[in-house]
Structure formats: structure tokens, C-alpha cells
Amino acid sequence: MKSTPVISAQHLDIGYRIGGEKVKCVHSNLNIALYAGELTCLLGANGAGKSTLLRTLSGAQPPLSGEIMINGNSLREIGRHKLSQTIGLVLTDKTAIGGLTVREVVALGRQPHTGFFGRLSALDNKVVDSSLDACGIADKGDRYMASLSDGERQKVMIAKALAQECPIVLLDEPTAFLDIVSRIEVMSLLHRIATEHHRAILLSTHDIEQALVLSDRLWLLSREEGLTTGVTEDLILSGSLNNLFPHSDIHFDPLHGSYYPTVHRNKSVTVVCQDETLLHWTINLLNRNDYGASLDTTIPCNHLIQIEKPNHIIWQEDGKTTTLHSFEELVQEIKAKEV
Amino acid sequence: MNKNSNISRSTLLIVGLTILTILLWVCNLFIGSVDIPAAEVVNALTGQPCEKESWRYIIVESRIPQAITALLAGCSLAVAGLLLQTTFNNPLAGPSILGIDTGAALGVAVVMLTGGSLVASAGFSGFLATIFGAFIGALTVLAVILFFSTFVRNNLMLLIIGMMVGYLTSSLISLLNFFASANQVHAYTMWGMGNLSGVSLQQLPGYTVASVCGLIIAFMLSKPLNAMLLGTRYAENLGVNIALTRNLLLLATGLLTATTTAFCGPITFIGLSVPHIARLLLRSSNHNTLLPVTMLCGAIVLLLCNIISTLPGNNGIIPINAVTPLIGAPVIIYVIVNQKKINYFNG
């Protein structure tokens, strides 16, 4: 059964109006479907139009043509107040909240639900508590924002969006400026929120590795190809990720889920190895040193490497055999030939 | 547990500051440039006959309105400063730095220095014309700055634009001074030194209503003000009507700065420094508590300045603008030097 998307749009043109009739179209003819209960990552190069797309979907910027539907209602016709209860945002904007406590910031997320003076009801306080809890920062409620690390601050902003109780949460590069531990924590947190709280979460990121691990669905955006969407694994295996950066000298390795520089190797070597990890890193070293690796022993080749253990490497060249005891010695052997 | 102690801290602070405000207000009745025995002050206040009729007159006609003016002006300028600092997301914003009180001063200068002709033709009494001029002047400068703020995103640049507008306004005032008569220049210069005794008992109700209106608008905006701490895009996402909020902030700041400036002259440093004193005392930028604390601190500081200004006794009164920087400038320097340690500066 295919679920119905919470945000959908057909033939959407996005971009800017530059006064009068003039427009700067960033993307045209986009087809969009964002699903509840899923984490969706928006990937693309700098300048691909990720922020423009997010701004358009959040209602901050009108589309040039086409209509965005949210749960069957047009985004244009949802009032300011209703919109603040529908889409929650996490941005990279500069804030002045250093003098507020974590709890106060998360409580700001209740503003769409509170009255004129923003007084919190017992229910509001309960939602704030559970949002803090869900983001793993329940023990930091009384800390000042100024005293938090970047990763903790981002979790607070996510807790704020959670407290807003919106079915949709859009995040603009929530893992930028974070170290690897915080990046993984934030991404896992978002995936858990999407699944457990049944939210539709869309985030733009440059962290492709984490996106491939935790994202249920990918939106690939590039100037040349437009928007390609699909379940992460479908896109990986169909080679769509190779089109994400078409003009760059990099290629996508579907086995390891990463991009690698495309190098044009002059020399080739046959590699014989049983262990997959060992094989991967041997090829890594050979590629870096200008050798293309072949696993096919039936093709004749001047060089052959047999590896059983990292400290036992057999290097054969024109019938001559050398035994090496570390990758360091292997590098020296290779480098010596270049001279 | 900690949550409760936070609430009690702000409640305690507000209660303490309220008591201090009342005490200082009463002190303002007892201390003045003319030595009047305390018992006679009490007599004058309770309607008992005084030893000298002039003493009764001084207390009722001068000290009471002056103490009320100091209270209201302190509240108004401090709250105006806080509103500007939050709106522009800049801790160094304030009515005097952004040229808003210079704008009010220009309005006053136009009325006072171009003489009675303009005022008479508008059909205003002199004083109402002054207030009207100040209000238009302050709002014009605020509107110019807000206009720039729609496309100048950098707040420091915006602050500098505000300062430039202030200089332009000052130069217009100088030009007006150049062409005015000696008497007009003298009157304008006296006004420019700042004077809390400018509001008579008869004008007091009008001044009170205008200031209290501005303060009420400010308090009604505390929810969107808190959202604005996150920046405009976040605030918009929380359902805040940015355009309406900005216009109301413009109105409140204009009302508070313009009425006070019209009656008392441009009083410097209160708007800039008092919000910092309030944040340092409260240790929070939450407007629910920061607004009342800022208001009370403003009243306390200006009541204190008023007492200091009467210290020379029979030799006269020190202009209030010679006293306010004594309290304001050290606070600003302290805040700038310690900004790494002070929470509300860091993000």
C-alpha cells in the first residue's frame, strides 16, 4: 500500500521574482512528494537550489508556478497561524538566545498553541518535557543556551520544532558545523523522531555518508538533472548518485556508499586477496599511488600482489618476488620504481 | 526544583526593585535643591499647614511632578532601549545611538527655533506643538532605520546607518540654531541639557497617559519579542506577524522616546545601559521577566540621577545629562569588556 504524501506538488517552478515581470528560475517542473514517518534527505552541490526549495516548501517564498499541497490543502491558503502548527523549521540563522535556558527555548516552540501572553498550560509543559526527553536533553533544561556545545544547541532547536507539534519538519543543514559524533547523534535522533512520532522530516545536508545510512528516501537536486527522488537504496543501485555532481571529477562507489576522486591510472596490478577489508584498503593505497587494480588473474599483468595479512604482502614483478611486511614497505617499493 | 528557584529569583528581584523604586521616589520628595525639613515635607504631603507657604508650593508643584516624571521617563527610556535591542538584535542599540532622540530633538528644534509662526498656523498650543514635533521627528528617524533594516541584513551596518542619520539630523539642528534668534537658541539649549522639572502638574496627566500607553504596548508584545530573539525567520515560523510586530514596536518606541524627549529633553544613556543592568541582575533575556525588571531599573536609575543632580543644593541643579553617563558609561564598558562571560551575548 502506498501512503499519500503530506506535501506534494506537480510541475512546480521555484526561484525568485526580481521586480516586475522578471524572474530568476532556479528549477522548473519539479514533482514532489514528502511522506510521513520517513526521514528524507535533500542532497545537492552548493548552489543547486536546496535552500530555495526548502524556503518554497516552508511557505517563506512563493513558487513561480505550480501549487504546493499540504495534506490536500493549498499552501497559499493555509493561514499564518495554521501554518505555524503545520511546518516546523530548524535553520542556521544567527540567534540571540544565549540568555535563555534550554527549557525556555523549547517552550518557544509552543507559541503557535499558546494564548496572547504565551503562558504555558499544564499540557504545554508536558509537551515541552516530552520534547526535551525525546531529544535526550531532559537533564539540560535549566542550562543557558550560551553554555551548550554546537551539537547540543542543534538538539535544542530540534526539540523546539518537536514541541511545535507540526506533522512536517524542515531542516536547513542541521549537521553543518558539527563534529562526527554530533552529526551521527542528530541524524539518528531525526530518524527516530520521524519513525516514532510519525513526522515527515526533510533536511538538506552535505553529509552524504550519514544520509545514505539513515535516510528513508533521498531527494537529489542538481542544476543539470533537476530533482530525482526515491528510496535511498533504489537510487544508490540505479546509479543516480553519479549524476548528482555531473561536472566534477568524482564518482560514486555503490559498494562503500561514498564518493571517490576519479583518477586516471597509468599502471595496473593484479590483486589476489581473500579478506574484503584488506582488499578494499589495498586497492585504496594502489589507486592513490597511480595503480589501477584488477581482480581477474586470467588477464596477464606485469605486477601481482598477493596479500594474506597486513604484515605479509607478496609483490611479484616480471617474475621477481619480494615479501613485504607492512603497507609502508609496499609504498616504498612502489615509490622506488618511479625514480 | 531548579525551575522553582528560577521563578522565585525573578519574583524576588521584581519585588525588591519595586520596593527600592518606591523608596527612591519618596526620597525624591524629601531631597531637593531647597532644604526643607522632613516634617514640613510630611505636612505638605498630608495637607497640613506648612511653616512657609513657598515650601508647600515647592513640594506640590515641583517635587511631586518631578518625581513622577523621573519615574515615568526612566521606565519609558529603558523599555524603549530594550525594544530596540531586541528588534535590531543588537545589544548596543538604544534611542540615542540610533538617532531617535536626535530625531525628536529636530522636531522640537523646528517648533522652538522657527518660532511661533509655524506653531500658530498649526493651531496648537506651544507645548502640544513641541510634543507633536518630537513625535514626528522620532518616528521619521525610526521609519528610516526600519526601512534600511528591510534590506541591510547586517545589524552592525544598520547601527552605523542609524548613527549617520543621527549626524544628519544634528547638522539640521545646527543649521536651525544658526538662523534662530538668541532667545530661541538659549531656550533650545536649556531644553537640550535634559531637565526632569519640565513637566508641570497640569501637563502631568497627558505625559502619564502617553508613557503608560507606550509601556502597555511594550508589555503586550512580550510573546513576539521572545520569538524575535530567534531571528525573524524563526519568529515567522512560530506564527509571529513580523510586519505588524515591527510596526507596533515602532509605535511603542516612538511614543516612549518622543514624549519623554519632548518634555525632558534628550536624556542619554538610560535607554542603552539600563537593559544591560536588568539582564545582568536577572540573568535572563526572557521578556516576560526582563521587561518589568528593565522598567523598574530605569525608574531607579533616573530617580537616583535626579537626587544626584540636586546635590549642589542652593547653587542650582546639575543638568541630568551630566549625571546619566556617570552611571551609564561604566555599565556599557563593563558589558563590552566582559562580553565573553555574559550569556546573552553568546548566541
Q: What is the DSSP string of A210-240?
A: HHHHH-SEEEEEETTTEEEEEEHHHHHHTTG
Answer whether residue B270 is part of any domain. yes
Answer whether residue B1 is part of any domain. no
Residue B140 has, within 13 A of its CA and on its CB side, a CA count of 16
C-alpha A98/C-alpha B335 separation (Å) is: 15
DSSP calls for B121-186: HHT--HHHHHHHHHHHHHHHHHHHHHHHHTT---HHHHHHHHHHHHHHHHHHHHHHHHHS-HHHHH
- Closest approach of A187 to chain B, Cα-based (Å): 21
Handedness of CA B183, B189, B193, B195 (dihedral sign): positive
Helix/strand/coil for A327: helix
Q: What is the pLDDT of residues B284-336, one digit of tens each?
A: 999 999 999 999 999 999 999 999 998 887 777 888 888 999 988 998 898 88
How many other C-beta atoms can be found within 10 angstroms of the C-beta atom of residue A103? 24
Strand order in the sheet with A291-294: A291-294, A267-273, A303-309, A312-317, A320-324
List, in order of start, the domains of chain A with CATH numbers: 87-165 (no CATH), 267-338 (3.40.50.800)
Q: What is the pLDDT of residues A198-252, one digit of tens each?
A: 999 999 999 999 999 999 999 999 988 899 999 999 999 998 988 888 777 888 8
- pLDDT, averaged across chain B: 86
Q: Chain B within 8 Å of A91 (Cβ-Cβ)? A: yes
Banded pLDDT at B2 (limits 50, 70, 90)? very low
- pLDDT, averaged across chain A: 90
Name residue A69's beta-bridge partners.
A8, A74
Q: Chain A within 8 Å of B229 (Cβ-Cβ)? A: yes
Phi, psi dihedral angles at A49 (to 5 degrees): 105, 20
Q: Chain B within 8 Å of A92 (Cβ-Cβ)? A: no
Q: ipTM above 0.90? A: no
Region B43-54: mean pLDDT is 84
pLDDT at B153 (0 to 100): 66
C-alpha B92/C-alpha B272 separation (Å) is: 7
* Grid cell at residue A72: 490536500
Banded pLDDT at B346 (limits 50, 70, 90)? low
How many other C-beta atoms can be found within 10 angstroms of the C-beta atom of residue A179? 12
Residues of A in contact with B340 (CB under 8 A): none
Q: Chain B within 8 Å of A306 (Cβ-Cβ)? A: no
Report the residue from B227, B284, B343 with minimal CB separation from A108: B227
Q: How far is CA B345 from the centre of its chain?
A: 23
pLDDT at B347 (0 to 100): 58
Report the residue from A89, A103, A146 with minimal CB separation from B347: A146
- Answer yes or no: do A84 and B231 touch at CB < 8 A: no
- Closest approach of B184 to chain A, Cα-based (Å): 45
pLDDT at B89 (0 to 100): 82
Q: Which of A138-142, B120-124, B133-137 has the lowest mean pLDDT?
A: B120-124
Region A137-142: mean pLDDT is 93
Answer whether residue B8 is part of any domain. no
Residue A260 has, within 13 A of its CA and on its CB side, a CA count of 15
What share of chain B in percent tops pLDDT 90? 35
Q: Chain A within 8 Å of B27 (Cβ-Cβ)? A: no
Using the predicted structure, report yes or no on whether residue A176 has a pLDDT greater than 50: yes
Answer whether residue B3 is part of any domain. no
pLDDT at B6 (0 to 100): 55
The DSSP bridge pattern shows strands A65-70 and A73-74 to be antiparallel
Q: Which of A190-194, B14-18, B184-188 has the lowest mean pLDDT?
A: B184-188
Answer whether residue B47 is part of any domain. yes
Domain CATH number, residue B220: 1.10.3470.10
Which residue has 559498494 as its cell numbers? Answer: A255
Q: What is the pLDDT of residues A15-74, one digit of tens each?
A: 988 877 788 899 999 999 999 999 999 999 988 999 999 999 999 889 999 999 999 899
* Grid cell at residue B324: 546619566
Interface test with A, best of B221, B228, B238 (most A CBs within 10 A): B238
Which residue has 531525526 as its cell numbers? Answer: A190
**Among A16, A24, A5, residue whose Cα is nearest residue A55:** A16
SS3 content of chain A, % helix, strand, coil (to 5): 35, 30, 35
Report the residue from A93, A99, A153 with minimal CB separation from B284: A99
Region A258-276: mean pLDDT is 85
Cβ-Cβ contacts under 8 Å between A and B: the total is 106
Residues of B in contact with A95 (CB under 8 A): 229-231, 234, 347
Residues of B in contact with A103 (CB under 8 A): 3
Answer whether residue B7 is part of any domain. no
pLDDT at B206 (0 to 100): 87
Name residue A49's beta-bridge partners.
none
Residue of chain A whose Cα is closest to the Cα of B287: A100
Q: How would you classify residue B194: left for phi > 0, otherwise alpha for psi between -120 and 50, otherwise beta? A: left
Return the beta strands (E) in A258-334 as ranges.
258-261, 267-273, 291-294, 303-309, 312-317, 320-324
Report the residue from A81, A108, A117 with minimal CB separation from B222: A117
C-alpha B290/C-alpha B283 separation (Å) is: 9
pLDDT at A248 (0 to 100): 76
Region A106-113: mean pLDDT is 96
Domain that holds residue B83: 13-345
Q: What is the pLDDT of residues A82-108, one digit of tens each?
A: 999 999 999 988 888 999 999 999 999
- Answer yes or no: do B6 and A142 touch at CB < 8 A: yes
How many other C-beta atoms can be found within 10 angstroms of the C-beta atom of residue A4? 10
- Answer yes or no: do B234 and A91 touch at CB < 8 A: yes
**Would you say B253 and B80 are in contact if contact means Cβ atoms under 8 Å apart?**
yes
Question: For chain B, what is the domain count?
Answer: 1
**Would you say A159 and A106 are in contact if contact means Cβ atoms under 8 Å apart?**
yes
How many other C-beta atoms can be found within 10 angstroms of the C-beta atom of residue A6? 21
Name residue A13's beta-bridge partners.
A65
- Answer yes or no: do B238 and A153 touch at CB < 8 A: no
- Closest approach of A55 to chain B, Cα-based (Å): 10
How many other C-beta atoms can be found within 10 angstroms of the C-beta atom of residue B17? 20
Using the predicted structure, report yes or no on whether residue A122 has a pLDDT greater than 90: yes
- Closest approach of B221 to chain A, Cα-based (Å): 8
C-alpha B206/C-alpha B298 separation (Å) is: 20
Answer whether residue B6 is part of any domain. no
Handedness of CA B327, B332, B338, B342 (dihedral sign): positive
Report the residue from B233, B234, B343 with minimal CB separation from A99: B343
Q: Chain A within 8 Å of B285 (Cβ-Cβ)? A: yes
Region B86-91: mean pLDDT is 84
Region A285-297: mean pLDDT is 86
Using the predicted structure, report yes or no on whether residue B263 has a pLDDT greater than 50: yes
Report the residue from A83, A98, A114 with minimal CB separation from B343: A98
Banded pLDDT at A298 (limits 50, 70, 90)? confident
pTM of the model: 0.87
How many other C-beta atoms can be found within 10 angstroms of the C-beta atom of residue A86? 22
